[in-house]
Chain A
Amino acid sequence: DSGVTQTPKHLITATGQRVTLRCSPRSGDLSVYWYQQSLDQGLQFLIQYYNGEERAKGNILERFSAQQFPDLHSELNLSSLELGDSALYFCASSVEGTGDNYGYTFGSGTRLTVV
């Protein structure tokens, strides 16, 4: 157990629907990062929050949004889902605004299947 908790582990939904993925960072970590991993693709950075504030944005679609709550857990909202959104969604956390000093810890991911 890495200490980063992601729920649910699996999610199957229909096109056009909206889902929410949840991430609880490792205790003491202030930053949360969201990544998308499509089949045979590298992890693509979506967005980072640090202590409740958006810190960096990557290749996140307008249909996707995220937030980090006062208790530091984060939610990734995916709406108007398309077949191409099927992927593994990973959350990672770090102590600081960057993991360069103390590293990143990844959760086990949520596998989203859009049918």
Chain B
Amino acid sequence: KNQVEQSPQSLIILEGKNCTLQCNYTVSPFSNLRWYKQDTGRGPVSLTIMTFSENTKSNGRYTATLDADTKQSSLHITASQLSDSASYICVVSEGSKQKLVFGTGTRLLVSP
């Protein structure tokens, strides 16, 4: 069964600190992996997208990594800001049908 699992479920960090969120997937065949940021009550907004051949992608203070062999991805947030408080969702696109499989997200709270 195609699944995307994220950890931790929730996380609290102090403003200015770094953190890393994890994503493991069993989706096959693999097409690409996206990280989205979802503010409370809003729709997801794309942060990064990586294909099979890419193992790192940055977007400002956000850096995503992908290990297609172990089917793992991480999202590293550097020098966190209060505005980073949100849910971060890992989404894997299943290759044959181009169907998106969503993780349940990691809820990040950045505390002053």
Contact = CB atoms under 8 A, between A and B. Distances in A.
A49 interface: no
Interface string A40-72: 111111000000000010100000000000000
Closest 9 CB pairs of A and B: A106-B43, A42-B102, A98-B98, A43-B102, A42-B104, A106-B44, A108-B43, A107-B43, A108-B42
A45 to B, nearest CB: 6
Contact of A109 (B32, B42, B89, B97): B42
Contacts of A104: 46, 100
Contacts, number: 44
Given A40-B104, A45-B100, A56-B97, A111 B46 contact: no
Interface of A: 2, 4, 40-45, 56, 58, 90, 92, 98, 100, 103-104, 106-109, 111
Contacts of A107: 43
Contact of B41 (A41, A56, A109): A109
B109 interface: no
B108 to A, nearest CB: 15
